[in-house]
């Protein structure tokens, strides 16, 4: 296990901690730093200690970590939009849902990037990554409001906003 990998992952986790807590209180910073280091130590060991090949992009470079700052507001914007869509469906008297499982092709080229995309989609309300076909570079997503059937139109709606930033974070 390399110190560089632990510190890179810890820095990413700490950035997200800052974004989620929105606090610069000293005790919050200390707790965030300790938890980030602790989580990074055990996560890195589990993810990389068993011979898994994450491909290019892990650990991210310093420039990649800076792109995390650009990714977070974009992710937050899509998170808010998805929440509003789900709230609309719930409050609508006829529950206008069209759920289904859709195929989403991706051109991301490493397990680390694809995992980031799958997690970003899953954490957005109304979507859930069900399976990943690594050979075909496809994600199978359960979508609460299927708006299209063409995989490339679906990709534009669900994956492209995240892909371009994930590619830059992990270059």
Query: Is 58 a member of any domain?
Result: no
Name the E strands within the chain: 100-105, 127-133, 138-143
Query: Is 151 a member of any domain?
Result: yes
Chain centre distance of CA 27: 27
Contact 130, 142 (CB under 8 A): yes
Query: Is 20 a member of any domain?
Result: yes
Query: Is 59 a member of any domain?
Result: no
48 and 100, same domain (yes or no): no
The more confident residue out of 15 and 168 is 15
- Tell me, what's the pLDDT at 52? 46
Q: Which two structure tokens, joined as six digits, stand for 68?
A: 């995390």
* Beta-sheet strand order (sheet of 127-133): 100-105, 138-143, 127-133
Gap between the terminal Cα atoms of the chain: 21
Compute the distance between CA of residue 6 and CA of residue 93 in angstroms, rounded to an integer: 50
Q: Into how many domains does the chain fold? A: 2
pTM, rounded to two decimals: 0.65
Query: Is 24 a member of any domain?
Result: yes
99 and 162, same domain (yes or no): yes
Compute the distance between CA of residue 13 and CA of residue 78 in angstroms, rounded to an integer: 20
Per-residue pLDDT of 57-77, as tens digits, reads 555 667 767 777 788 888 889
Q: Which domain holds residue 26?
A: 3-52
112 and 163, same domain (yes or no): yes
Query: Is 128 a member of any domain?
Result: yes
What's the CATH code of the domain at 100?
3.30.70
Query: Is 72 a member of any domain?
Result: no
Q: What is the C-alpha R_g of the chain?
A: 17
Query: Is 87 a member of any domain?
Result: no
pLDDT above 70 as % of the chain: 87
44 and 99, same domain (yes or no): no
Per-residue pLDDT of 19-69, as tens digits, reads 888 888 999 999 999 999 988 888 776 655 544 454 555 556 677 677 777
């Amino acid at each position: 296990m390399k110190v560089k990998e632990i510190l890179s992952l810890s820095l990413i986790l700490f950035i997200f901690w800052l974004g989620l807590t929105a606090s610069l209180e000293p005790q919050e910073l200390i707790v965030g730093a300790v938890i980030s280091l602790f989580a990074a130590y055990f996560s890195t060991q589990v993810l990389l200690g068993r011979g898994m090949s994450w491909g290019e992009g892990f650990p991210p470079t310093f420039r990649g970590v800076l792109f995390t700052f650009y990714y977070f507001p974009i992710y937050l914007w899509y998170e808010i939009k998805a929440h509003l869509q789900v709230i609309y469906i719930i409050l609508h008297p006829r529950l206008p849902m069209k759920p289904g499982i859709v195929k989403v092709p991706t051109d991301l080229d490493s397990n680390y990037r694809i995992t980031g995309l799958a997690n970003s989609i899953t954490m957005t309300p109304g979507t859930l990554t069900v399976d990943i076909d690594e050979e075909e570079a496809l994600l199978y997503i359960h979508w609460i409001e299927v708006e299209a059937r063409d995989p490339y139109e679906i990709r534009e709606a669900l994956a492209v906003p995240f892909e371009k930033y994930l590619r830059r974070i992990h270059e």
